[in-house]
Amino acid sequence: MSRLERRLEPSRAMMLASPLIAAAAMLATGSLLFCFLGQQPLHAFYVYFIKPLTSAYGVGELLLKATPLILCGVGLAIGFRANVANIGADGQLTVGAIAAACVALHFDQVQAGWLLPLMLLAGALGGMAWAAIPALLRTRFNTSEILVSLMLVYVAYLLLGYLVHGPLRDPAGFNFPQSKMFQDAALLPLLMDGLRVNAAFPLSLLAVAGAWFFCKHTFAGYRMQVSGMAPAAALFAGFSEPRNVWGAFLVSGALAGLAGVGEVAGPLGQLQPTVSPGYGFAAIIVAYVGRLHPIGVLLASLLMSLLYIGGEAAQIELQLPSAITGLFQGLLLFYLLAADLFIHYQLKPRRHIAAALATAPSGDPA
Amino acid sequence: MNDAVVPQLRVEPRLQLLGISKIYPSVVANAEVDLTVMPGEIHAVLGENGAGKSTLMKIIYGITKPDAGEIMWEGRQVHIDSPSAARKLGIGMVFQHFALFETLTVAENISLALDERITPAQLAPRIRAVSEQYGLPLDPQRRVHSMSVGERQRVEIVRCLLQSPRLLIMDEPTSVLTPDAVLKLFESLRRLASEGVSILYISHKLDEIQSLCDKATVLRAGRVSGRAHPREETAHSLAQLMIGGDLPTCQLLPRAPGEVRLALEHLSIASDDPFGTALHDICLDLRAGEIVGIAGVSGNGQQELLKAISGELPLRQPQGVRLLGVDAGRVDAAGRRRLGLAFVPEERLGRGAVPDLSLADNALLTGYIPSAGTGMVERGLIRRGTVRAFAREVIARFKVKCGDEQSAAASLSGGNLQKFIVGREIALKPKVMVVAQPTWGVDIGAAMLIRQAIIDLRDQGVAVLVVSEELDELFMMCDRLAVLAGGRLSRAVPVADTSVGQIGVWMSGDFEHPHHTAIHTTGAHHVTA
């Protein structure tokens, strides 16, 4: 007989292995599922997980879809480490996209190198402005930032809907609810001809590197981590809680806003009624699967992106239902949470009492 | 009481433990413990912090299951697998930290805690009867939030007595009591014992056990290190059993104090918490090179006072706290640290240290202050090498038992973590040091090391304020003593001019207001060399 025992210290090895175990368990369960759906598991796996990676175009799509996940995920991870639960990245992404689109449409005739940087700046500021609302309400009135940031997502959706149906609608667009197409100077350059992945991807890698440096080497990053882990200790050390909340929201808002620019100035090329298919929400899973670590977020974003793209391929090629993507995401999160138990606990066979008395350290009070 | 024991030679023991063992992953809490308690006996379980006393009591009360061993209750073997099973047998337990609903009355609280369903109204006369019978005055209609800690303890004891227990377990009951209340408690316990109730009395205070208990079982590192009749032993021989050596002492040599470094001037704070304690007109001068102790039972405003001094609770009045000549009332915690304040809080995990961070990262928690000159942070970046070296130095200097500076704070025992936190604050070379409960839950060896380190700091000219519940400790290490009771602070008197008796009286709130006897702008008459 065996029992769960609390580990003396959380296991670092298990912390790193847990996402891998979760991915393996997801694949195992997935193969069972494929069997029940009347598919050859190996062939289904090939279509789902390998085939998208066999063409340059597929890899480009993978990176394209991963980009907003990385940007949002990195920002959220920094916030979650500081125990600031920003659930509203999708709203901040949307407002960032709107801000960048306004700049692009306002300078419709300008062919200049400063237009894109200005759009990126506008996007970041737009995301920050949207994130500032829950930050202000939390620090001023102690409201729950979870609820406020979440509700603001829907406000942002409605704002976008109003704009594309009204003020920003393309006059020559046959009344379709979308803006004019951006001119070339307002589009992010493509990384390679024939692929849709654009300059936002290297930008997201830059964000990963920056976030890694921030968490690992700056005192501000340390302050935010302490505020998240032990609020009373942060107060004891003299770290300001409002500054922590503001920092977390502004960083994650800015990065989500940039993700929004990456969408409108990238694959969309215009403002549409829907800018994000929920990247800001998927980024929450990404942040946790990535262990709230910037490098982890990068890897988790790639995996999540593969789940999206593989899911599409499985729908088309294997006629599997579209729910398959959500199912795999759910499996991944489920197994991750289960495997995480073993970071703090271990399975131990029940030892013989006499043996334990002989070997275990005796009660050392100091 | 001894003549009560003689005819009971043939009587079955009330409780007998045979070979009880309890093993946790990191530690053997109890190893082959045997314990016998006769009817009407007051039996001490003596041992220092971490010796396994509490685990053993939890096993008897059905909270924890032993890994091996047998429990005999009045001659037959029993399995106690829950507290309610223990209560059915006739075992009652008064916990060190009791859980009462503050907004409810005494009768309502007790009614909720009983296994049978009795309405508060039906209970009230029984509560009155029992409390009068044992000299534990209690008003059943009173709400708990208005009661002192000693009175709350009475609620717990009366709750146990209502179930007519045959064995009463008292876990460190005197830590929350004034010296006078301790004497009253002992009278009640003796009366109970004379009626045949057995009492298991857990403590690490030798004098209490010698005055109260018939027999003692001494635990050390989870094992029984000896059995004794406390009244026939000396403090020396009991200490020998408990820690395997003499009680170490620390040395406080007389020293003339210097200038005032911390001054509280008519500090009043209303409490945010409806059940917290408001501070009234608190005045105190703390000088360089002296240790001032603040005695008093926790819950009399200690938390509020410490937060007001540390800056965790900034004040409205800038003059409320003067730190090194600066009106610092509105300065936050970081700002006060920059002025030269260091602080060791009562809670170690989660306030004094971040549980999941390494000791090195915990060194950074307060070591970042630029004025301390540690150089841990430069241009916003952390210098890991410097941080680790600082942590290693603290670990070596204060003999902190741990893996290395990368061990998580939560993996250390309470005493070792306290050594690390005290060491960290001392290493920051403060000008004013404030320490709350310096040795709470710390074993005796570590406690003496911590006390001596604080005294050394005072000898180097640092102004030290110690807030503690342990009177022995305060008398051992302080130059002057004040008492905090009901949110009011007495004047601070030289230790040589006072006694445990007087401080005990003050602890019940019975002292004149300091303004009538002292003028705080001078403060010089407080000082003796």
DSSP, residue by residue, B418-441: HHHHHHHHHHT--SEEEEESTTTT
Task: Tell me the backbone φ, ψ of residue A223, rounded to 5 degrees.
Answer: -55, -45
For the segment B439-498, what is each residue's pLDDT rounded down to a tens digit? 887 777 788 889 999 999 999 999 999 999 888 889 999 999 999 998 999 999 999 999
Among A217, A240, A357, select the one facing B21 at the smallest CB separation.
Answer: A357
Which DSSP state fits B80? -
Rounded to the nearest angstrom, the minimum Cα separation between A228 and chain B is 10
- Whether A12 has its CB under 8 Å from any CB of chain B: the answer is no
ipTM for the whole predicted complex goes beyond 0.85? no
Q: Which phi-psi region, left, alpha or beta, contains residue B340 (left: φ > 0; alpha: ψ -120 to 50)?
A: left
- Count of residues making up chain B: 529
Per-residue pLDDT at A351: 60
What is the chain B residue with the closest CA to A218?
A: B381
Q: Which CATH number fits the domain that encloses residue A216?
A: 1.10.3470
* Nearest alpha carbon to residue B311 among B195, B218, B434: B434
Q: What is the mean pLDDT of residues A91-101?
A: 97
What pLDDT is stored for residue B1 in this prediction? 43
Checking if the pLDDT of B174 tops 90, the result is no
Residue contact B25–A5, C-beta within 8 A:
yes
> What pLDDT, on the 0 to 100 scale, is given for residue B318?
86
Indicate if the pLDDT at residue A359 is higher than 80.
no
The domain locations on chain B are 2-243, 250-340+430-529, 349-428
The predicted model scores a pTM of 0.81
In a domain, A330, yes or no: no
| C-alpha pair distances (Å), B429 with each of A248, B387, B391, B425, B462 | 33, 16, 15, 7, 9
pLDDT digits (tens, 9 = 90+) for B15-35: 999 999 998 776 788 999 999
Ordered DSSP codes for A231-267: HHHHHHHT--HHHHHHHHHHHHHHHHHHHHHHHIIII
Choose among B466, B468, B472: nearest CA to B453: B466
pLDDT of residue B516: 47
DSSP assignment string, A119-175: HHHHHHHHHHHHHHHHHHHHHHH---HHHHHHHHHHHHHHHHHHHHHTTTS-TTSTT
Query: The domain containing residue A252 runs over which residues?
Result: 40-319
Q: Is the pLDDT of residue B3 over 50?
A: no
Q: Which residues contact A251 (CB under 8 A, 6 or more apart)?
A: A75, A78, A79
Chain A contact for B408 (CB, 8 A cutoff): yes
Q: Domain for residue A366, yes or no?
A: no
Question: Is a pLDDT exceeding 50 seen at residue B369?
Answer: yes
Per-residue pLDDT, B183: 87
What are the structure tokens assigned to A115, written together?
């237009």
CATH placement of domain B2-243: 3.40.50.300
Average pLDDT over residues A175-202: 91
Q: Tell me what pLDDT residue B432 has.
A: 97
When divided into structural domains, chain A yields a total of: 1
A338 vs chain B: nearest CA distance in angstroms? Answer: 21
Distance CA B248, CA A307 (A): 66
Cα dihedral A15, A20, A21, A24, rounded to 10, equals 170
Q: For residue B186, give the nearest of B134, B113, B123, B126 by alpha carbon.
A: B134
Whether pLDDT at B524 is above 50: no
What is the helix (H) or strand (E) element at residue B70, kind and residue range? strand B68-73
Please name the residue of chain A whose CA is at the shortest distance from the CA of residue B47. Answer: A365
Written as six digits, the tokens of B463 are: 């102004």
Interchain contact, A366 vs B29, CB within 8 Å: no
Residue type, B114: L
Contacts with A, B 373-402, CB within 8 Å: 377, 380-382, 401
Comparing A96 with A332, which gets the higher pLDDT? A96
As to burial, measured by CB atoms within 10 angstroms (0-12 exposed, 13-18 middle, 19+ buried), residue B238 is: buried
What's the pLDDT at A130? 98
For residue A146, count CB atoms less than 10 angstroms from its CB and return exposed for 0-12, middle for 13-18, buried for 19 or more: middle
Q: Looking at the domain covering B250-340+430-529, what would its CATH class be? A: alpha beta
Tell me how far apart the alpha carbons of residues A246 and A270 are, in angstroms, rounded to a whole number: 31
A226 touches chain B (CB under 8 A): yes
CA-to-CA dists, residue B31 to A5, A13, B28, B36, angstroms? 19, 33, 7, 16
Per-residue pLDDT of B415-453, as tens digits, reads 889 999 999 999 999 999 999 999 887 777 788 889 999
Does a structural domain hold residue A356? no
pLDDT value at position B138? Answer: 86
**Cβ-defined contact of A363 to B311 (cutoff 8 Å):** no
pLDDT digits (tens, 9 = 90+) for B46-99: 888 778 888 899 999 998 889 999 999 998 999 998 988 999 999 999 887 777
Q: Which residues contact B76 (CB under 8 A, 6 or more apart)?
A: none
Separation in Å, CA of A311 to nearest CA in chain B: 38
Does residue A288 belong to the interface with chain B, where contact is any CB pair within 8 Å? no
Q: Report which secondary-structure segment, H or E, holds B378.
A: strand B377-378
Question: Which of B28, B338, B359, B434 best probes binding to A when mutated, by most A CB atoms within 10 angstroms?
Answer: B28
- State how far residue A198 is from chain B, nearest Cα, in angstroms: 33
Q: Minimal Cα–Cα distance from A253 to chain B, Å? A: 22
Q: In what order do the strands lie in the sheet with B223-228?
A: B91-94, B167-171, B198-203, B42-46, B215-220, B223-228
Option in A233, A356, A364 nearest B23 (CB): A356
Q: What is the pLDDT of residues B211-237, one digit of tens each?
A: 899 999 999 888 999 899 988 888 788
Asked if the domains B2-243 and B250-340+430-529 are classified in one and the same CATH topology, the answer is yes
Strand partners, B156: none
User: Of the candidates A79, A83, A74, which has an alpha carbon nearest to the alpha carbon of residue A229?
Assistant: A83
Residue from the list B380, B415, B446 with its beta carbon closest to the beta carbon of A220: B380
pLDDT at B362: 96
pLDDT at residue number A291 = 87
- Mean pLDDT for A267-295 is 92
Is A32 inside any structural domain? no
Q: Which of A253-267, B379-393, B394-408, B423-437 has the lowest mean pLDDT?
A: B394-408
Give the 3-state secondary structure of residue B165. coil
Mean pLDDT over the full length of chain B: 87
With contacts defined as CB-CB under 8 Å, which chain B residues touch A247?
A: none
Interface test with A, best of B343, B366, B381, B417 (most A CBs within 10 A): B381
For the record, the structure tokens of B281 come out as 């007109």
Say what the pLDDT of residue A354 is.
Answer: 61
Residue A207: count other Cβ atoms within 10 Å of its Cβ: 26
Tokens of B28: 């053997």
Placement of tokens 């500090």 in the chain: B267
- Chain B residues with CB-CB distance to A214 below 8 A: none
Whole-number pLDDT of residue B130: 87
